[in-house]
Structure formats: C-alpha cells, structure tokens
Amino acid sequence: WKAVCGSQPLCRTRSKDTAPRSMSVGSAAETELRLRLVKPENGRLGLKLGQHGDRTAVRVLHVQPNSAAAHSGLRPYDRLLYIGGKPIKDSLAKALQILHDSSTDPIPLVVTRGS
C-alpha cells in the first residue's frame, strides 16, 4: 500500500439513500454504500487514501477515530467509486483533487466494502 492524502477538508453524515446494495464479484461479495462527507471547519478529514500495488483502485487506508471521515461511515479498505458524482476509477490524484476542490457540502461518496 502507498499511503497518500492527509488533512484535506471533509466529513460525515449519511444520506437517505444509504441502503447497501450487495453484488458478487468473482467469489467475493461487495456492498455498495452511499455516504456523505460534511466539510469540517478545521479542514481535517482524518483520512488517508492510497492504492494497492497493482493500482487498480483507490482505497481508504486509515480513518482517524472521531474524525470527519469516521463520522461519515468510511472504514479502512473501503474502495472509492465516486466522489461528488464523479467516477474515481483508479486515479488517486483525481480523488484527492475532487475532495480538495469540491464546493458541495456535504460531498456525496459511493464506496464498496467487503472485497
């Protein structure tokens, strides 16, 4: 894992549309979640993002307890699919840029969990 990110602004709360959806991917089951990050006044997310060696996904590496990211429902190993309605695919730089530049508050996220 390559740890990147840091204290970018963002945070919490789940939207009404957070009902998880399960999907099978090969032999592993993933759950898709819709979360919302509310930008904290101090600008710190309490979140580290990175990529596995093959760089095929952007994942949450660490969530600081009681942080904005923790309050949003993000967990380590969650895979980011969309930030602010924009697809992330495998671009860590794009994920960080969208989080940094977003003027939407809260910022909608779509993640998968469980693979």
Q: Where in the chain are the domains?
A: 2-113
Tokens of 76: 């380590």
* Per-residue pLDDT tens digits for 47-76: 999 997 777 899 999 999 999 999 999 999
Nearest to 9 by CA among 77, 103, 85: 103
Considering the four listed CATH numbers 3.40.50.300, 1.20.120.450, 2.30.42.10, 3.40.50.1820, the one that applies to the domain covering 2-113 is 2.30.42.10
Query: For 7-43, how does the pLDDT look when each residue is reduced to its tens digit (9 = 90+)?
Result: 443 433 334 444 445 454 444 688 999 999 998 888 7
pTM metric for this prediction: 0.73
Torsion of CA 97, 68, 48, 92, to 10 degrees: -30
Beta bridge partners of 31: 22, 113
- CA 29 from chain centre, in angstroms, equals 19
